[in-house]
Amino acid sequence: MIIMSVDAGEARTGIAVCDKSELLASPVCVIEEYNAQRRLEKVAQKARELNAEIVVVGLPRNMNGSEGDRALTCRAFADSLKELLGESIAVDLCDERATTQLAHTYLSIADVKGRKRKKTVDAVAAVIILEDYLALRKNKNGKI
């Protein structure tokens, strides 16, 4: 099943996708859009282009598991995306605590700096969200 993940941000939104076998998560792009409605439409269009069957939106919970303003914004984004995509593509949420920090760590290890880091960190965070989601699916389905 093709699954696309979204690391939703107010300026940059990272997109990643997995192969049909759900083994390999890869970064796709970063959508740079400040207008919330246009950003939503661009994410929906990317899901259609990639033939995604599920879109997973990262849910940035606080470290204690509670949900702050950003999590509520991401829930609203996921709800709007679900309306826009209709029944053709499912939308799910996945806990994304600390994914951006982990993405920065990975990029530091790879010695990616400056503008290149800024342009790729959200896509790397989307990969981490997708990898977590895939692991949850495998564990839930008894594949691990």
Tokens of 14: 């990272």
Whether residue 138 contacts residue 25, with contact meaning beta carbons closer than 8 Å, is answered with: no
The CA–CA distances, whole Å, from 124 to 27, 61, 114, 132 equal 6, 18, 15, 13
Enter the tokens of residue 131: 């990898």
Q: Are 13 and 124 in contact (CB under 8 A)?
A: no
**Tens-digit pLDDT profile for residues 70-117:** 889 999 999 999 999 998 899 999 988 666 666 657 666 666 677 665
Treating both helix axes as pointing N-terminal to C-terminal, what angle do 114-140 and 99-109 enclose, rounded to 10 degrees?
120
* Topology (CATH) of 3-140: Nucleotidyltransferase; domain 5 (3.30.420)
Mean pLDDT of 12-20: 95
pLDDT at 122 over 50: yes
Find all residues with CB under 8 Å of 89, minimum gap 6, and list them. 47, 48, 52, 53, 54, 55
Q: Higher pLDDT residue, 69 or 116?
A: 69
CA distance 117 to 103: 10
Considering the entire predicted model, what is its pTM? 0.86
Residue 144, pLDDT score = 43
Residue 111: the pLDDT is: 63
Position of tokens 């896509």?
123
